[in-house]
Every structure is written in C-alpha cells, then in structure tokens.
Amino acid sequence: MLRAKAASNSKPPMPTQRKSQSRSSNPEFDKAEPKETTEKVVFINRCAKVVKGGRRFSFSALIVSGNHNGRVGIGFGKANEVSEAIRKATESAKKRMVNVAVHENTIPHEVLGEFGGGRVLLKPASPGTGVIAGGGVRAVIEAAGIRDVLAKSLGSSNPANVVKATLDALTTLRPKAEIFKIRGKTLRVKTPAAAEA
C-alpha cells in the first residue's frame, strides 16, 4: 500500500509537456514551420450513395490557401466527414502553392484565364477600388494579396472550374521587367521630380 502511494506521488512529467518544451527551445523546429498562411473554404459538396440500409454520405471540400504576399494554392479533398475533407484539402493547397506577380497591390496587366468550362477575366484597378469579384474568384485574389482588381466570370459557374481558371489567369501574369528582358530592352527607372530640380 505504501509502495503504491509512493509510486503515485513521484509521477514523471507528461510527454506532451516535454514535447512543447523541446519545440520552443529547439531553433531548428521554428525554421521548419511554414510561413503564416490563411485558408478559405470555397465550396463543400455532399454526395449520397444509396445502399441497402439507407443513404451513405461523403463530402468533398475546395480550399484556397495563400500568404497574402504573392503565393496562393488550391486544394481538393474528399472524406466521409466534413472536417477530414477540409484537412485533406488544406494539406493539398499548401503543397501546391504558386507564385503570382503582384504590382502595387494590383495585377500588372489584363488577363483571361481558362480551365474546363470556366473563364475568368481579370483587369488591373486604380488604388482604392478594392476587389470587385465574387465567390471563388474573390477567395483566390484575396489569398494572393491583391487588393485592387476588377474580375468577371464569363463561363461556367462551377466553383472548381472558376477557382482553377482564376489561378490559371494569375499564373500567366508577368511583371513589366520580365517582359522587357525577353524583348531585350532595358527598363527605365523613374526619378522623382524633386531630385531632377
């Protein structure tokens, strides 16, 4: 009896406590952590399979992930529960992130993106305009960190195709410096009027 009490009093620290201490003190672990990204659920679809006992439901989730600084990705996940489908889609979106050309909080030029039946037109906008877009297009643009843009969905309204068409449009964007380099021209740097005088 006394041995059992003595054993219960001298409990070793819980393993979860040790893990959290080692994480905060280990500098290599901090480097491995991904940069701050945000996820937005664009669409959740419920599918019903009719079986002998009734209906069996499964779910699919479409997620847009971005760091609001020129990186964005989309992910699609399927599972028998909504939370699991969202988790799978989020992992997929983080793995498939791509860089997007952003010029002064807008896009460098007008572009048309296509995927399947989805067609999305994006136009640069003046500062203060905001994101004039709806649904899946808005989710992708905001995740990429673009603040001023005009968008119009011209084709299918299927959320998956609209989101992929938007991502196609954003990946075809090229900054002015890159276009000048391909043409073999040099880009002039604007000097302020005060410096010239």
Q: State pLDDT tens for residues 150-186.
A: 999 999 999 999 999 999 999 999 888 888 888 888 8
- The amino acid sitting at 53 is G
- The amino acid sitting at 78 is K
Q: Is the pLDDT of residue 30 over 50?
A: no
Q: State pLDDT tens for residues 43-97.
A: 999 999 999 999 999 999 999 999 998 899 999 999 999 999 999 999 999 999 9
Q: Is the pLDDT of residue 127 over 60?
A: yes
How much is the mean pLDDT over the chain? 82
- φ/ψ of residue 178, rounded to 5: -65, -40
Q: Do 119 and 165 meet the contact criterion of CB atoms below 8 Å apart? A: yes
Residues 6+ apart with CB under 8 A from 29: 22, 23
